[in-house]
Structure 1
Amino acid sequence: MAPLQVALLFLGLVVLPAALATDGTTFSMSENGYNVDWMAGHATWYGDPYGEGSSGGACGYTQLTGTPIGSKIAAGNNPIFQGGKGCGQCYEVKCNYPSCNPEPTRIVITDLCPGGTYCSTGNPAFDFSGAAITAMALPGRDGELKKIGLYDIQYKRVPCEYQNQNIAFKVDFGASAYWLSFTVKYLGGPGDIESVEIRQVGSNGSFQPCQHSWGANWMLINYTGQPFDGPYDVKITAKLNGHSVIAYRAIPKWFQPGALYNSNVQFKY
């Protein structure tokens, strides 16, 4: 594993309270921002009774079903969505009604829940997709659970895991040689993003900060009057715990608007 890639490797998610670093030392999940204990929260659900709710929503991930994110997603209110920097967070959720599955359901934050009974408050709240609330029910009892509508739940922040999928960059359709805009997708580990920086491959220059546009979308505006000259390395720093990873040659020299480029790195903690 390259030294500029992942610093910490998880041996487990929820069942293990600690993980092992590459130097053999251990750290607790809580030290890296994840929850060891369950927390009390509130939730609702929306959209197709068995679907993904909204295709990407305010995070800009577009289609979710059939992708590594999947349809078990949720919109988070402001304390979770955090102006878009909360996009990509992963949680385990469960409920205690008679129709609830005792096993937790893994969800990803992909949208904003701006109002309603719970989302309009200052307390963390979720608006689950139909697929997510179905998974939270015992087999054959999802209809019973959905009729409740307003839920007391338990939740915990957990590392994101995308099997056989590295971080990817979806270039916007409006991107050009003078305005590079892209959405960061499939971020493992913390899932959320504090900052994105970009650097021309082969240059001796430092990373240049990108501007957070909206959701999981970041952009780099060309102020030199000269066209961008890639390929580009992209450095991502997680909001949850400040860990960083560098995706080398992540965006090619002749990037195509609308194209999805998979990197060779992934967060593992």
Structure 2
Amino acid sequence: MASLANAALQLFVLGAVLVLGMRAGTASATEAWEVTDWAEAHATFYGGQDAGGTMGGACGYGNLYSLGYGTATTALSNALFHNGLSCGACFLIECILQGSKWCYPGKSIVVTATNACPPGSEGGWCDPPRPHFDLSFPMFQMLAQPVAGVIPVRYRRVSCSKQGGVRFTLHGNPYFNYILVHNVGGSGDVAAVALRGENSRWNRMNQNWGQYWSCGGWYLGQALSFKVTLGSGRSLEFWNVVDKNWGFGQTYESDYNF
């Protein structure tokens, strides 16, 4: 009996060590993903001086002013866009002084990814496998004189600082739920979403396009909760963030963020 007890104890200790190791690995991965090392790319600009042409886009955010993103935005080349899973990610960008006489010294910007710069755009700068940022005009002119057209930059992922909680905009019909997830802090990029009605279990949603997530199911008349997982691996549950009297076209904001 003593040997069996000792064996059980050893298995328990080993299991605890493995779990702790997994947690430590997850924490390290989260930290490494939210703030990455520097890498090099190039940047151009689009959308006009008022950034009006940056509204809409491949992430699905629509009016960037009303959603709180403003002009501090960028479109990403395919090498960075990852089929929309990088939407909402934040980047710190600096102009490389040694690479262009048009760079302003000591200037940097933080922008949120809100669009894609497809292959063939910007004179081929967005073609694979190039990492490239197509900045809003106001952001570009903070780094360099616009006459440059294209500038060498260095960048790294940083944590997103957002005002208020994560927001969910509801679209679809009684049988099809089509949710835009936005104003996300932390690493900013949403990798997975699950939906739960007060009378149902968690239902995994599929990325439809950009940051629109969809699933079937009848949820009318139920308070809704969401489970959001970031690209960093961090996950939060937002319980009853949508009241049972909700309607399509409405936006609901949680009480907290990543």
Q: Identify the TM-score tier after normalising by the shorter chain.
A: 0.7 to 0.9
1:237 corresponds in structure 2 to: 229
Shift of residue 67 of structure 1?
A: 4.0
2:127 corresponds in structure 1 to: 120
Distance 1:53 1:86, change over 3 A: same
Deviations 1:91-132 (A, max 9, x none): 011102444251310100000100232211212211111121
Distance 1:207 1:51, change over 3 A: same
1:45 corresponds in structure 2 to: 45
Distance 1:37 1:195, change over 3 A: closer
Shift of residue 36 of structure 1?
A: 4.8
More helix as a share of residues = 2
2:204 corresponds in structure 1 to: 209
Amino acid of the structure 1 residue aligned with 2:38: W
Equivalent pairs counted in the alignment come to: 225
Task: State the identity %.
Answer: 28
Secondary structure at the aligned position of 1:194 is classed as strand
Secondary structure at the aligned position of 2:157 is classed as strand
Q: Distance in 2 between matches of 1:228 and 1:259?
A: 13
Secondary structure at the aligned position of 2:190 is classed as coil
Secondary structure at the aligned position of 2:140 is classed as helix
**Larger of the two Rg values belongs to structure:** 2
Residue 99 of structure 2 is aligned to residue 102 of structure 1: no
2:177 corresponds in structure 1 to: 180
1:24 corresponds in structure 2 to: none
1:15 corresponds in structure 2 to: none
2:252 corresponds in structure 1 to: 261
1:23-102 pair list within 5 angstroms: 31-51=31-51, 53-65=53-65, 67-95=67-95, 96=97, 97-98=100-101, 99-102=103-106
Q: Normalising by the residue count of structure 2, what TM-score does the alignment of the two structures yield?
A: 0.80
Find the partner of 1:218 among 213, 217, 226. 213
Secondary structure at the aligned position of 2:139 is classed as helix
Q: Distance in 2 between matches of 1:101 and 1:111?
A: 27
Task: Answer yes or no: is the 8 Å Cα contact 1:87–1:110 preserved in 2.
Answer: yes
Unaligned stretches of 5+ residues in structure 2: 1-26
Find the partner of 2:115 among 104, 111, 121. 111
Secondary structure at the aligned position of 1:75 is classed as strand
RMSD between aligned residues: 2.0
Task: Answer yes or no: is the 8 Å Cα contact 2:34–2:186 preserved in 1.
Answer: no
Q: Distance in 2 between matches of 1:30 and 1:188?
A: 13
Shift of residue 252 of structure 1?
A: 2.7
Q: Normalising by the residue count of structure 1, what TM-score does the alignment of the two structures yield?
A: 0.77
Residue 125 of structure 2 is aligned to residue 133 of structure 1: no
Unaligned stretches of 5+ residues in structure 1: 1-26, 138-144
Amino acid of the structure 2 residue aligned with 1:108: T
Secondary structure at the aligned position of 1:57 is classed as coil
Shift of residue 266 of structure 1?
A: 0.4
